[in-house]
Amino acid sequence: MKLCELIKNVPVREISAGEDIEITGITNDSRAVKRGDVFIAVKGFQSDGHKYIPSAVKQGAALVVCQDVPENADCPWVAVEDSRTAEALLAANFYGNPCEKLTMIGVTGTNGKTTVTTLTRQVIEKATGEKCGLIGTNINIVGEKIIEAERTTPDAIELQKLLNEMVEAGCKYAVMEVSSHALSLGRVEGITYEVGAFTNLTEDHLDFHETMDKYAEAKALLFGKCRKGVVNADDHYAKMMTDRAKCPVITFSAEGKNANVKAKNIELHANRVEFTAVIEGKSVKVLLHIPGKFSVYNALTVLSIAYCLGIEPARTAEILKTLGGVKGRAEIVPTDTDYTVLIDYAHSPDAMENILQTVRGIAKGRVVILFGCGGDREKTKRPIMGSIAVKLADYVYITSDNPRTEVPGDIIKDILRGVEGTSTPYEVIENRREAIYTALRQSRKDDILILAGKGHEDYQIIGTEKYHFDEREVVADFFREAKRNDSK
């Protein structure tokens, strides 16, 4: 690719290179530079890519893209207004602007994104007969290939590469989770979504956004990048989303608010939800095999997205009733016991409250929760989650999650500030495996034990290292060891 093609529609301040330079690759990692590549120097929070320009040049970079013009540069350079925005636009150009060949659907919000995108993908494929790619927290799906996901929304270069692979795999649609970080940091610049959807907003990521209003403003950026919008009318920030939208918006409600799509006659069961969806005056019966009031909202989001894509609500409802749950979201672990073990990704106050209220409504015995909080992340939610746990559960195990570079005991101390004065019994067991073993050992008939926070994750981050840790395997190990001990 010629440089003139690569920088098309990219805001450039200054350029020292001839526009006929041949470009063979693009990267923001100086260690990955190959001869003929463009190295994009991005100013990060922990490191400034400009420091690595000499290393990239030494590796054979044909060109450097930067915000700050390098002194005594040993290779051609292009100075841009903002290297993050430029990275996204350059990546889109390099990979042939794949989003223009796909019908893009973006879903943002604190909770529900993974379930909504997973269900939406299945509805699209079954209703249209076309392939639909997926970019999400759990996994990325390209055609028939499943790829482990590193973050909710990949960096701009990886994102455009994935979208290009979807096009090459014959996908006509792509549905993706769009995080507030991705919107704030320009990872999705250059992408126009056919439909953008907002699920909800609850306290999370305030270590990055600082306030809920700033967090909401980041989410609202999605509605400046789509042709149609879908918004949860029951959420406190619904008005901000609709006010900021630069496109037509349809709203949905499960609380009887004035909205385009409404849920009526809601029935919550132990293994499913049922309700009547009213869309522009037409009614359709909906059944989704995932319990909890939040599942009603997830189903409404999917129905609304599909409606915006021209899929009849009756067809969407017909497909939804055939679909199962999503890994790590209210997932029941096979144990062959007289109590139930459930894994859920709940790692925010609202998500914890949702799963506890759901289980509270179906439990015959005690509701028991085991949870911790992530390190190097927002600290203010820790005591809030502790307070919710002792308020809604009958027994609580406080343990470690992904402590990262924080001392696990310090994170637990923050959680404990929220349980002061409680009459609910609780235990602190820092080691998560030991905590799970203890919880399983102490479970009683008809209990529901919720292992909260890890969900789909099969690792634990301690310090800067990632260790394999799959709670399904931990539960299986417990019973395997118990059986072996019994046979001695």
Taking only the tens place, the pLDDT of each residue in 166-193 is: 999 999 999 999 988 889 888 999 999 9
When the pLDDT of each residue in the chain is averaged and rounded to a whole number, the result is 92
pLDDT in the model for residue 207? 62
CATH 3.40.1390.10, the chain: domain bounds? 3-84
Out of 255-269, 270-284, 323-337, which region has the weakest mean confidence (pLDDT)?
A: 323-337
Q: Give yes or no for residue 220 having a pLDDT over 90.
A: yes
d(CA 441, CA 438): 5
Q: Give yes or no for residue 307 having a pLDDT over 70.
A: yes
pLDDT in the model for residue 48? 86
The superfamily in CATH containing domain 3-84 is MurE/MurF, N-terminal domain (3.40.1390.10)
CATH of span 98-320: 3.40.1190.10
* Strand positions, DSSP E, 77-149: 77-80, 103-108, 131-135, 139-142, 145-148
pLDDT in the model for residue 261? 98
pLDDT in the model for residue 212? 85
CATH 3.40.1190.10, the chain: domain bounds? 98-320
Quote the DSSP letter at residue 361: T
Q: Give yes or no for residue 102 having a pLDDT over 70.
A: yes
d(CA 440, CA 438): 5
Confidence of residue 210 (pLDDT cuts 50, 70, 90): low
Quote the DSSP letter at residue 48: B
Range 331-486: architecture per CATH: Alpha-Beta Complex (3.90)
Confidence of residue 415 (pLDDT cuts 50, 70, 90): very high
CB 241 within 8 A of CB 248: no
Quote the DSSP letter at residue 31: G
d(CA 294, CA 284): 19
pLDDT in the model for residue 33? 93
d(CA 105, CA 121): 10
Confidence of residue 153 (pLDDT cuts 50, 70, 90): confident
Q: Give yes or no for residue 70 having a pLDDT over 80.
A: no
In Å, what is the CA distance from 289 to each residue of 5, 27, 37, 321, 453? 49, 43, 49, 7, 22
CATH 3.90.190.20, the chain: domain bounds? 331-486
**Quick check: helix, strand or coil at residue 101?**
helix
Describe the strand order of the beta sheet including 12-15 as a list of residue ranges.
12-15, 77-80, 63-66, 37-40, 25-27
pLDDT per position as a tens digit, 346-382: 999 989 998 999 899 888 899 999 999 999 988 999 9
